[in-house]
C-alpha cells in the first residue's frame, strides 16, 4: 500500500470519525456522512495535509480513494 | 353527465427542495386551475420499496411539463435519476433545474449518529431530534468529551483559522456555477448576490421560504407560466413545510463571508421546542436536548 493511501486513510478516518476500513476501492457511499456536501470540506483537509491543490473540475470526478491517491501523487510529482 | 377531462400535469422530480416547490405550486390557484402537480423523489433511500423513486404512472401520462433536478456533484452523490421516460407523452417539455446548496454556511455539516435511537419518535418525523448536525461536535462527543466542554470549545472556535474558507467558497461557487451551466433554469447568481444580505438556508439542503419563492418563480418563468401577481400570492402562504428545524451558522463563518444577517440576536428554530440563540442551540445540541 502506498504512503499516500496510508495517509489518506488516516485523514479520512479522522475527518469522519470512522473506524470503517478504507482502501483504494473505498467510495464515498461506504463511509457514513461522506455526502457531496461533506466532500468539499474533506478535499480542503486533504489539500492541506498533502500540500497540494486539486484542479477544481477533478475534485468532483474522483471515483474512489485510489483515484484520489493517484491524483495526489501526480500533483506532487509536478510540484 | 359528461365526465370532466383531467387537467395536464406539471411534474417535479428531485429532492426535498422540489417537494417544497410542489407545495408552493399547489398553493397557487392560478397554477392549480391549469395543472395537477406531481412529484417524485430523487433521493436514494434503502427502504426496501422497489418503486420509491417512481412517479405515479397516471400523473406521468398527463405530463405537460417535467422539471428534473440534476444530480449533485458526481462523487458522493446519492441521486437516483428519473427513469420513467417511456411513460411520458411524446410532446412533454422537459427542463433541468439545479439543486440548491447551503454548504458554505455549514462546512462541518454531518448527520448525527445519535439520531438513530430516536427515529421512532413521531414528533421528529422519523428523522430524529437533530436531522442535521456538526461533525466536529459529533467527533468530540463520540470520543467521550463532556458536552459542556464540547459546546464551549465549539462556540469559541474560529473557523476562519481552522480551515481555508476562501477555498471552500471557491469550491461551492464552482459547483453552483456548474450546476447552472448543466441546467435549463439558472439560480446561482441569485444565491451569490444575496448570500450576505439575507438568510437563504435553514439547513444545508433546506432553503428558506423566500429562497424557495425565487426558485419556484424561476421554474414558472422558464415554463412561461409566471404571472403578474405571483409574488402577492406567495406572500399569502403561511405554512413553510421545511422550516421546522434549523441549524445555526457559526458566527465566525458568518463574519468570514460578511453575512450581515448573522447577529447576536439571531435565533434558530428546533421543531416546536423553541428558537434559540447560537450558543443556546449549540449547548442543547451538544447535550442532544429535545
Q: Which residues of A touch B137 (CB under 8 A)?
A: none
Query: Is pLDDT of B1 > 60?
Result: no
Domains of chain B: 1-97+208-241 (3.40.50), 100-206+243-290 (no CATH)
Q: Can you tell me the mean pLDDT for B88-101?
A: 96
Q: Model confidence at B77, in pLDDT bands (50, 70, 90)?
A: low
Provide the 10 A C-beta neighbour count for residue B87: 16
Query: Is pLDDT of B75 > 60?
Result: no
Write down the mean pLDDT value for chain B: 92
Shortest CB distance from A33 goes to which of B73, B110, B205?
A: B110
**CATH of segment(s) A3-77:** 1.10.1200.10
CB A23 within 8 A of CB A1: yes
Q: Which residues of B touch A47 (CB under 8 A)?
A: 164, 167
Q: Tell me phi and psi for residue B115, to 5 degrees.
A: -60, -30
Task: Tell how strand B267-269 and strand B93-97 pair up.
Answer: unpaired
Range with the poorest average pLDDT among A45-59, B126-140, B191-205, B224-238: B126-140
Alpha-carbon separation of residue B225 from A67, B31, B221, B232, B256 (angstroms): 45, 8, 6, 15, 39
CB contact under 8 A, B108 and A47: no
- Which pLDDT score, from 0 to 100, does residue A78 have? 79
Where exactly are the structural domains of chain A? Answer: 3-77
CB B38 within 8 A of CB B56: yes
- Which pLDDT score, from 0 to 100, does residue B63 have? 98
Interface of A with B (CB under 8 A): 15-17, 27-29, 32-41, 43-45, 47-48, 56, 59-63
Q: What is the CA radius of gyration of chain A?
A: 11
Q: Tell me phi and psi for residue B266, to 5 degrees.
A: -60, 135
- Which pLDDT score, from 0 to 100, does residue B113 have? 82
Q: Distance (Å) from the C-alpha of residue A3 to the closest C-alpha of chain B?
A: 23
Residue of B69, B73, B76, B77 to mutate, testing the A interface (most A Cβ within 10 Å of its Cβ)? B76
Give Cβ neighbours of residue B111 (< 8 Å, ≥ 6 apart): A32, A33, B131, B132, B133
Q: Which residues of B touch A45 (CB under 8 A)?
A: 163
Q: Distance (Å) from the C-alpha of residue A63 to the closest C-alpha of chain B?
A: 6
Residue bearing the bigger pLDDT, B113 or B190: B190
- Which pLDDT score, from 0 to 100, does residue B224 have? 98
Candidates B9, B6, B183; CA nearest to B89 is B9
CB contact under 8 A, A17 and B205: no
Residue of B75, B137, B139, B140 to mutate, testing the A interface (most A Cβ within 10 Å of its Cβ)? B75
Query: Is pLDDT of A1 > 60?
Result: no
Tell me the percentage of chain B whose pLDDT exceeds 90: 78
Amino acid at each position: 500500500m502506498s504512503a499516500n493511501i496510508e495517509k489518506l486513510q488516516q485523514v479520512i478516518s479522522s475527518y469522519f470519525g470512522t473506524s470503517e476500513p478504507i482502501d483504494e476501492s473505498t467510495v464515498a457511499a461506504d463511509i457514513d456522512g461522506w455526502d457531496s456536501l461533506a466532500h468539499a470540506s474533506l478535499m480542503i483537509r486533504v489539500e492541506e495535509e498533502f500540500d497540494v491543490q486539486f484542479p477544481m473540475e477533478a475534485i468532483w470526478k474522483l471515483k474512489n480513494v485510489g483515484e484520489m491517491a493517484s491524483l495526489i501523487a501526480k500533483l506532487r510529482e509536478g510540484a | 353527465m359528461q365526465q370532466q377531462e383531467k387537467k395536464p400535469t406539471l411534474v417535479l422530480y428531485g429532492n426535498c427542495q422540489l417537494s417544497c416547490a410542489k407545495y408552493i405550486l399547489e398553493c397557487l390557484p392560478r397554477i392549480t386551475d391549469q395543472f395537477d402537480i406531481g412529484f417524485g423523489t430523487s433521493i436514494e433511500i434503502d427502504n426496501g420499496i422497489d418503486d420509491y423513486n417512481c412517479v405515479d404512472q397516471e400523473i406521468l401520462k398527463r405530463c405537460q411539463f417535467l422539471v428534473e433536478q440534476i444530480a449533485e456533484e458526481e462523487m458522493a452523490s446519492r441521486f437516483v435519476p428519473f427513469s420513467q421516460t417511456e411513460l411520458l407523452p411524446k410532446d412533454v417539455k422537459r427542463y433541468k433545474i439545479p439543486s440548491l446548496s447551503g454548504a458554505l454556511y455549514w462546512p462541518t455539516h454531518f448527520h448525527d449518529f445519535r439520531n438513530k435511537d430516536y427515529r421512532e419518535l413521531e414528533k421528529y418525523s422519523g428523522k430524529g431530534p437533530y436531522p442535521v448536525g456538526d461533525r466536529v461536535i459529533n467527533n468530540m462527543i463520540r470520543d467521550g468529551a463532556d458536552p459542556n466542554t464540547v459546546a464551549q470549545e465549539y462556540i469559541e472556535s474560529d473557523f476562519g483559522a481552522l480551515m481555508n474558507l476562501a477555498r471552500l467558497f471557491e469550491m461551492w461557487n464552482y459547483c453552483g456555477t456548474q450546476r447552472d451551466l448543466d441546467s435549463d433554469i439558472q439560480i446561482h447568481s441569485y444565491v451569490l448576490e444575496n448570500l450576505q444580505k439575507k438568510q437563504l438556508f435553514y439547513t444545508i439542503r433546506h432553503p428558506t421560504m423566500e429562497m424557495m419563492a425565487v426558485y419556484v418563480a424561476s421554474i414558472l418563468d422558464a415554463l412561461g407560466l409566471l404571472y403578474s401577481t405571483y409574488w402577492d400570492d406567495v406572500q399569502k402562504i403561511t405554512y413553510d413545510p421545511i422550516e421546522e428545524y434549523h441549524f445555526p451558522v457559526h458566527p465566525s463563518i458568518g463574519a468570514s463571508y460578511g453575512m450581515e444577517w448573522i447577529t447576536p440576536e439571531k435565533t434558530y428554530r428546533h421543531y416546536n421546542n423553541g428558537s434559540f440563540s447560537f450558543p443556546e442551540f449549540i449547548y442543547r445540541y451538544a447535550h442532544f436536548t429535545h
